[in-house]
Structure 1
Amino acid sequence: MKIELDNRQSEIIDGAAEFARSVLAPRARENDERGAFPEDLVRQMGERGYLGATIPQEYGGLGLDPVAYGLLVAAIEKGDCSASRLLTVHLALAAEAILKCGSEDQIKKWIPSLASGETICAFGLTEPDHGSDAAGIECAYSDLGDEFRLNGHKRWITFSGIADLFLI
């Protein structure tokens, strides 16, 4: 199967491959041994637009289609698997959920800063007694009138150490 990209998509994917080779790969082992993904690399990914890859251009994203996005993730993954996981959690789980289910105010508030990488979003699904089975979630919220209270336990929240926003 031959995949045809337009010039813009090709430039983005080629740039991501070079970024993965020259910036991510040389630091991947050290980052893995430290158990942390450096904030300077998060910032660089945001500056290059990768953290907004699937976010529509009207919100500051690259607006890539699913095929181009998949190729971008594959290119980044060749340099550092953790960097590609950041993309998938930040975009496919968190940003897409806000775009599809969020209010207009939530979209306006969060999506542009997610696209730029100014805000990093983690996705909290996994619970101690039910793993990642969404049907078994026990975490619940209470409406207290002027605020909401979230009660429950989560674990293994990827990138929770660098996230500014948590989608639970």
Structure 2
Amino acid sequence: MNILIGTIVIWVGVFYAWQRLGRTGQRGEALTAAVELLKFTLPRIGIALLGAGLFAELLPQDQVRSVLGKEAGFGAIVLASFLGPITPGGAFVCFAISAGALKAGAAIAPVMAYTTAWALFSTSKILAYELPLLGGRNFMLRFAVTWPIPLLVGGIVYFLA
């Protein structure tokens, strides 16, 4: 039901934005941009889902359950929080690994901690963008404030799930 409500809200927002564009060439430009984005993203999503399925089949399920399953407890959340930042690649890689780990028997809490850690501390983003553009001091301040967030997310999900 939540997905249906969210989908309806998104489509209402799209319709509202479409009406606000008026009758000028903006509608055509917006539609062209949306189609280009779809053509760029759709193959990557397909490859990521295929990769996640193959990745899940290659993972030894008994080992995944013992290291990242519910029985592993908070240690799995800590491990996942350290693995997230060192994952190479972008969102398609991270989410494919997350989906594969879930399919192979990982609990939701470590997967959420992994995804959160990747989103906050992706090494490739830090090295390519954050350090050169914002500097080391700003990075250290952000890191000092946000380092416990993956652990908190994983812990909250662990107790809720």
TM-score tier after normalising by the smaller chain length: 0.3 to 0.5
TM-score normalised to the size of structure 1? 0.33
Larger Rg: 2
TM-score normalised to the size of structure 2? 0.34
Q: As a proportion of its length, which structure holds more strand?
A: 1
